[in-house]
């Protein structure tokens, strides 16, 4: 997923962040529709609600995240975005231990935001935080989707809804450059690496894993993002950045491991 995100930044100068987001979602939708082959007419009200809700969150999460990484380094953006999964892990807890995890995470975020006085893009940090809130919704709604559909057809519908919602902004930003062969090829690759493959695997995982366990397995995501940014597009990782990323990873891992009972997924069909 993070290699795909790093590659996406290489076409921002041609189609903008919104255009790259559209290519990602559209490419993933085509592949998922081809394999999932959802029977649109046979979908129940519960299935439609689950798919549309997840599609809305996917659109918001991807759009704000891509706008964020057009302004700040990938590792920083994913670490700030990780506020979402961390909130899922800490939701409803009143234990002192979990407060400690929250403080550690806050320390990591403060370390990453040191650039407020050194030219960091405040708008990028805010967009990453919004993407994080959408990520929290994604975790819960993805679990709900896994219960509403027995196969990957629900994800195909949700991804298509997300692509349609991003379409106006993507076309406005990318215009004719969206169909340039080289740019389109990168967009398709990003769609496979960042959406179709990982989301499909996550959907299967969340059918049998609690959201807390899922949080444990995702705890290294910020570190992986920083590594992908450094290797793929040459983004530097300062010692302070490394400290901030490490603190957030530790906080997320600790909160997930010590969670007593995971929060229930949203019952949007109720």
Residues 183-229 have pLDDT tens digits of: 999 999 998 998 888 877 877 776 777 666 666 677 777 888 888 88
265 has a pLDDT exceeding 60? no
Number of Cβ within a 10 Å radius of residue 22: 32
Is the pTM above the cut of 0.85?
no
Instruction: Answer yes or no: are the C-beta atoms of 240 and 113 closer than 8 Å.
Output: no
The proportion of the chain whose per-residue pLDDT surpasses 90, expressed as a percent, equals 31
> What Å distances lie between residue 48 and 3, 43, 165, 203, CA to CA?
31, 6, 16, 17
pLDDT at 166: 95
Instruction: Answer yes or no: are the C-beta atoms of 11 and 20 closer than 8 Å.
Output: yes
pLDDT at 116: 47
What is the C-alpha separation between 188 and 208, in angstroms, rounded?
30
The residue with greater pLDDT, 201 or 60, is: 60
The residue with greater pLDDT, 64 or 35, is: 64
Instruction: Answer yes or no: are the C-beta atoms of 156 and 32 closer than 8 Å.
Output: yes
């Amino acid at each position: 997923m993070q290699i795909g995100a790093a590659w996406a930044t290489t076409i921002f100068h041609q189609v903008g962040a919104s255009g790259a987001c559209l290519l990602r979602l559209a490419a993933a939708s085509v592949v998922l529709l081809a394999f999932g082959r959802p029977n649109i007419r046979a979908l129940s009200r519960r299935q439609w609600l689950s798919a549309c809700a997840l599609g809305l969150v996917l659109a918001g999460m991807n759009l704000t995240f891509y706008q964020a990484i057009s302004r700040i380094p990938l590792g920083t953006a994913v670490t700030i975005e990780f506020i979402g999964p961390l909130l899922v892990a800490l939701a409803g807890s009143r234990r002192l231990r979990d407060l400690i995890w929250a403080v550690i995470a806050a320390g990591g975020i403060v370390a990453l935001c040191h650039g407020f006085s050194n030219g960091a893009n405040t708008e990028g940090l805010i967009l990453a935080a919004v993407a994080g809130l959408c990520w929290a919704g994604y975790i819960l709604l993805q679990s709900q989707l896994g219960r509403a559909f027995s196969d990957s057809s629900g994800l195909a519908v949700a991804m298509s809804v997300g692509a349609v919602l991003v379409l106006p902004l993507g076309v406005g930003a990318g215009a004719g450059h969206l169909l340039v062969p080289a740019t389109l090829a990168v967009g398709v690759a990003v769609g496979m690496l960042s959406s179709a493959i990982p989301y499909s695997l996550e959907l299967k995982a969340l059918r049998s894993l609690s959201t807390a366990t899922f949080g444990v397995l995702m705890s290294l995501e910020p570190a992986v993002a920083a590594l992908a940014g450094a290797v793929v597009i040459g983004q530097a990782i300062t010692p302070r950045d490394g400290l901030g990323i490490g603190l957030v990873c530790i906080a997320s891992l600790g909160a997930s491991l010590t969670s007593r009972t995971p929060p229930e997924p949203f019952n949007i069909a109720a």
